[in-house]
């Protein structure tokens, strides 16, 4: 099986800090650049699973880079360069402590909440009588707080303002950008025979005071896609939608009695299952971009990544 990138331990010129997220390793270069390395780690239910997925980091990084470029006229974003298949380097931003989740369809966690009888999500009212995977009359924004440890938590717009997490006038800009980005992503997905079901965006403020879209966008880690063909028929019949997202990993975990709760054990991830997850990620890349995925060399992932980042920093001094 191909080698995977589970962690990094670099020391770059001008490096001020290092942050290890669930999937990405982020290096702060002199409060000027953020070097974001997409590892092959995979998380579900806010838990990093014990085995990495070959090419997953490359898939995430290259999809995100394409969508950042495609939406740059809609919303300023942090990206400056992608010098390596697993790396994006961008402007340093102070990230807002809220993820902007937007949902076009009643599915996943929103459906599970709906089944309990709830008719509001994050303060947004949901109509009665909806089916699983049914389209909302209009996309809804259901933000969550960004937990440094443990689970992210749902929060209302009023709660964000009341707690002083984001100033009201800045949150209005985030809402506008979120709706516009989702609309663009929906149009691009439809061109490839897909439905962008839901996704999340992160924003930050640069040293110039401007708000920027940060991190990933429209990847299988941050988004859910259905196949457009057969969607209506499956909805009418009550049969599961064909989807390209990480939800199939969550479903496998739930079938094996794991939902990230205390005392639960992650089921064994066999080589065959790892390979299947990898192929599903590659399939999404090819479907959403319309391009053939080019597997980058994995014989020395850390060495390749370090060289390409150092080359960028040498030609773009702080």
Question: How confident is residue 247, by pLDDT bands cut at 50, 70 and 90?
Answer: confident
Question: Number of C-alpha atoms within 13 angstroms, CB side, residue 190?
Answer: 6
Question: How confident is residue 220, by pLDDT bands cut at 50, 70 and 90?
Answer: confident
What pLDDT, in 10s, does the model give residues 261-291? Answer: 989 999 999 999 999 999 989 988 999 999 9
pLDDT over 90 at 30, yes or no: yes
**CATH code at position 73:** 3.30.200.20
**pTM for this prediction:** 0.90
Average pLDDT of the residues of the chain: 94
Vertex 47 angle, CA 45 and 50, to 5°: 130
52 and 182 share a domain?
Answer: no
**Region 30-58 average pLDDT:** 95
pLDDT over 70 at 237, yes or no: yes
Q: Which residues of 45-79 are buried (b: 16+ CB within 10 A; e: fewer)?
A: bebbbebbbbbbbbbbbbbbbbbbeebeeebbbbb
**Region 245-254 average pLDDT:** 88
In a domain, 267, yes or no: no
241 and 99 share a domain?
Answer: yes
The total number of structural domains that make up the chain: 2
What pLDDT, in 10s, does the model give residues 75-122? Answer: 999 999 999 999 999 999 999 999 999 999 999 889 999 999 999 999
Domain enclosing residue 103, as ranges: 95-245
pLDDT for 317: 80
Q: Which residues of 272-281 are buried (b: 16+ CB within 10 A; e: fewer)?
A: eebeebbebb
**CATH code at position 201:** 3.30.470.20
99 and 229 share a domain?
Answer: yes
Are the C-beta atoms of residues 309 and 10 closer than 8 Å to each other? yes
What pLDDT, in 10s, does the model give residues 121-143? Answer: 999 999 999 999 999 999 999 99
The percentage of residues in the chain with a pLDDT greater than 90, rounded to a whole number, is 87
102 and 237 share a domain?
Answer: yes
239 and 294 share a domain?
Answer: no
Residue whose C-alpha is closest to residue 160's, from 146, 148, 149, 181: 146
């Amino acid at each position: 099986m191909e080698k995977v990138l589970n962690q990094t331990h670099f020391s770059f010129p001008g490096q001020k800090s290092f942050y290890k997220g669930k999937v990405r390793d982020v290096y702060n270069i002199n409060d000027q650049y953020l070097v974001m390395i997409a590892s092959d780690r995979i998380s579900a239910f806010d838990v990093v699973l014990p085995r990495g997925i070959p090419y997953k980091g490359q898939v995430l990084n290259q999809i995100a880079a394409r969508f950042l470029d495609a939406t740059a006229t809609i919303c300023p974003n942090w990206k400056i360069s992608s010098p390596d298949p697993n790396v994006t380097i961008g402007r340093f931003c102070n990230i807002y402590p809220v993820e902007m989740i937007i949902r076009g369809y009643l599915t996943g966690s929103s459906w599970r909440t709906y089944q309990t009888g709830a008719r509001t999500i994050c303060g947004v009212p949901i109509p009665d009588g909806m089916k699983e995977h049914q389209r909302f009359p209009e996309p809804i924004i259901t933000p969550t707080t960004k937990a440094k440890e443990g689970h992210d938590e749902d929060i209302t717009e009023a709660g964000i303002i009341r707690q002083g997490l984001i100033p009201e006038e800045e949150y209005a800009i985030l809402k506008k950008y979120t709706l516009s980005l989702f609309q663009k992503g929906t149009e691009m997905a439809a061109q490839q025979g897909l439905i962008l079901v839901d996704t999340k965006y992160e924003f930050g403020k640069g040293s110039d005071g401007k708000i920027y879209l940060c991190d990933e966008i429209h990847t299988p880690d941050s988004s859910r896609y259905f196949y457009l063909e057969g969607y209506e028929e499956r909805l009418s019949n009550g049969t599961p939608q064909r989807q390209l997202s990480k939800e199939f990993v969550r479903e496998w975990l739930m079938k094996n009695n794991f939902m990230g709760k205390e005392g639960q054990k992650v089921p064994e991830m066999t080589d065959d299952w790892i390979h299947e997850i990898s192929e599903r990620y590659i399939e999404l890349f090819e479907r959403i971009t319309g391009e053939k995925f080019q597997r980058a060399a994995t014989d020395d992932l850390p060495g390749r990544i370090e060289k390409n980042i150092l080359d960028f920093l040498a030609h773009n001094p702080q």
